[in-house]
Amino acid sequence: MKQKLTIAVASGKGGTGKTTVSASLACAAADAGYRTAYLDCDVEEPNGHLFLKPSINYRHMVGIPVPVVDQEKCINCGLCGEICQFSAIVCINKNVLTFDKMCHGCGGCSLVCPAGAITENSRNIGVVETGDCGNLRFCHGKLEVGEALSPPLVRAVRAILQEEDLSVIDASPGTSCPVIAAIKGVDYVLLVTEPTPFGINDLEIAVDMVNELHIPFAVVVNRSVPDHNLARDFCRDNKIKILAEIPDDRRVAEAYSRGKLPYSGVPGYRELFAGLLDTAMKEAGQ
């Protein structure tokens, strides 16, 4: 490998097999001799660890700065409330009220305060954990229960491992802010879909997302059935490459229920994912 690559695995909807593909792809890369990191950026519901079973050796809390107002210094100018786009700080009846759960940690309120009445404290939003699964590096984030602001934690997961040849990112499902934070700036995206009307509808939305971000991408069809052509027709009509089709195989579901990846738990799938890895890296390196 001539350069470091980052491949993200995303999907327009949940339940398409995104973690199956991303974790299997990471295992295939590690077995092929690449220094590989698996980054689970689905911080609201991380589940890659259930299959990879890492030995966690490092963890740290991730926080965002939230405002603390010194009412004695405050001159009630209201500039802090005017600059905040999320109503996390408001001036009412000569009192400044803060709402930490609504704060995005931009620091704008402290910058515009002419009296220097606003300082910042860190509010924990989750934890990042790293470890090893044999020769595969592992990292995931766990968002605090009840916390709504996940992009800062996603960015912290992406920033923690920088030295690997290949980083495989497992993004959260959908096309919302956490997904953008997970895939922005990556070299290549694999969109995992299933050949159903719901799957193709959400695949179309995901395609619009990666096109808007100008990231090269291709599709992996999971639970593929020979006579179901919805995904094939959509990709053909939109000139999108399908890099792999994973069969609708009961053995995969049985392995999944035991916490095993098809890559290691079902005969024949090691070769399938090794082939997907080779093709995806060639596409990403172009």
Whichever domain contains 235, its CATH number is 3.40.50.300
Question: Of 100, 123, 146, at which residue does a domain stop?
Answer: 123
Report the 10 Å Cβ neighbour count for 61: 12
Query: What is d(CA 62, CA 41) in angstroms, rounded to the nearest whole number?
Result: 14
256 with 203, same domain: the answer is yes
Q: Which of 182, 191, 225, 176 is nearest to 18 (CA)?
A: 191
For the domain that residue 76 is a member of, what is the CATH number? 3.30.70.20
pLDDT level of residue 208 (50, 70, 90 thresholds): very high
Write out the residue range of the structural domain in which residue 219 sits.
5-62+125-284
What's the pTM?
0.92
What local confidence, expressed as pLDDT, does residue 91 receive? 92
Model confidence pLDDT, tens digit, residues 215-249: 999 999 999 998 888 999 999 999 999 999 999 99
Counting the structural domains of the chain, the total is 2
47 with 187, same domain: the answer is yes
Is the Cβ–Cβ distance between 20 and 191 less than 8 Å? no
Does 93 have pLDDT greater than 90?
Answer: no
What local confidence, expressed as pLDDT, does residue 127 receive? 98
Does 1 have pLDDT greater than 60?
Answer: no
Average pLDDT rounded to a whole number, residues 211-217: 97
pLDDT level of residue 44 (50, 70, 90 thresholds): very high
Does 194 have pLDDT greater than 60?
Answer: yes
133 with 223, same domain: the answer is yes
94 with 138, same domain: the answer is no
Render the burial of 173-197: b for 16+ CB within 10 Å, e for the rest: bbbeebbebbbeebbbbbbbbbbee
275 with 150, same domain: the answer is yes
Query: What is d(CA 218, CA 284) in angstroms, rounded to the nearest whole number?
Result: 10
